Structure 1
Amino acid sequence: MKLDIFSHCTIDTIQINDSKYVVPGGPACYCSLTARILKFDVRLHTKFGSDFPLVNYLTEQKIVVKDALSTKPTTQFLLNLVNSERTLFLQNKCESINSATLDTDNVIISPLFDEISIELFEKIKKNAIFVLLDPQGFLRRKNSENKIYLEQTDLNVSGISAIKVNSDELRSLTNNSNIDGIKILQKRE
């Protein structure tokens, strides 16, 4: 089976107390690598800069990546973990993804922060049969200090086959964070 994935690759700095870890990844990598393990042929629609260290590894894993190299640095986040509190900051945003030529009818859309326009989102949905959506990047905003927060967002989820949301994202989409929010999403499909 074939699968198209739309998401940015990232370089994340994870800060836990006094320790810092810099790790490449993002849903683009995790979804692609997992799909390959499950024997999918994967085409990854992404953007990253010359600073992204996993390009060769993705190619070695037979993940098709075309027109992904940007002149801008890779999207970067700082994740601060203190006890059970998680704070996320945007450190850099690579250029947006603008290609929507699908190799298949099966798609994962998992934006991180504003890399997929609503117009591209609608075009992808129109041209695919099965669409799995992780909407976090459509819901995220940043304040003047680049701290990420979620905003109440009216996102058209018609044409979505499956959706992955946590309770905060569900609240941003429906103003409910429990089963009522799920029911609201189901009615929108």
Structure 2
Amino acid sequence: MRIGVYGNLTLDELDQNDKLVVRPGGSALYSSLAAAYFGARVSIYSMIGSDYPRNILSSLKNRGIDVSGVNKLQGLTTRFKISYLADSRRLELINPGQKLKPSSTGDSLHAIHLGPVFLEIGLDTLHYARYHSKFLSLDVQGLLRTEGPKGIVRLARKRIDQFLSKCNLVKATEDEARVIAPAATIVSAARRLLHKGPQYVIITRGRSGSLLVEK
């Protein structure tokens, strides 16, 4: 099975024992690793800066992941600072990175996953992905994020119905689902999301597991 994954690879700054640790991140990274682990032939389409470590790309290649669609541009990679306080997480935007453009995938793919992290995927990439894949999935996080005071990333309700209507599967956290489709219960929110177009909705609930709803 051939799978294409769109979304910017990130560098995440974490404070661990009063030391700053920088680690690779992003939906595109984790989705690609998971798909490759289960035997898919994966290609990543992403924008990175000159600061992105070469050894990470080499590691992806060694796992059989095609990174020829990862474009290195002048400037910095998408970067976040992540802080954990008790059971809460604070996300701070350090650098938004570059916008993605549709990249030629050659033949149509069995599936494409859209994993934006901060507004880098637009309607042009959505339409291209829909046309060139039999199954299209979306992680909504990067479509809902907005930068608040001091770079703090917050969720905001936005018009993303065009994305939802063209995808076969939509994945959201519980908070993201309530932003897109406010409802009394998380099951009701999931069903409201189904009415917007996708065949399947996955809602992740942290330590409480995940919810899968289908039409």
Shared fold, TM over 0.5? yes
**Inter-CA distance 72–33: structure 2 relative to 1 (3 Å threshold):** same
The letter for the 1-side match of 2:139 is D
Q: Paired residue for 1:161? A: 168
The Cα offsets for residues 79-133 of structure 1, whole Å up to 9 and x where unpaired, read as 1111112110010122111024335130111100011113322332233221111
4+ residue runs over 4 A deviation? none
Is structure 2 residue 148 aligned with structure 1 residue 140? no
The letter for the 2-side match of 1:135 is V
Q: Paired residue for 1:83? A: 86
Q: TM-score, normalised by structure 2?
A: 0.81
The Cα offsets for residues 27-65 of structure 1, whole Å up to 9 and x where unpaired, read as 222111221111111110101112212122222222112
Q: Paired residue for 2:209? A: none
* Secondary structure in structure 2 of the residue aligned to 1:50: coil
Paired residue total? 189
Distance 1:93 1:151 in 2: 17
Distance 1:43 1:143 in 2: 33
Distance 1:151 1:50 in 2: 31
Per-residue deviation, 1:19: 4.0
Is structure 2 residue 43 aligned with structure 1 residue 43? yes
Provide structure 1 residue ranges, at least 5 long, that are not aligned to the other structure. Answer: none
Structure number with greater CO (CA < 8 Å, separation at least 6) is 1
Q: TM-score, normalised by structure 1?
A: 0.92
The letter for the 1-side match of 2:44 is L
Distance 2:157 2:182 in 1: 7
Q: Paired residue for 1:173? A: 180
Provide structure 2 residue ranges, at least 5 long, that are not aligned to the other structure. Answer: 198-215
The Cα offsets for residues 119-156 of structure 1, whole Å up to 9 and x where unpaired, read as 32233223322111101000000013111000012212
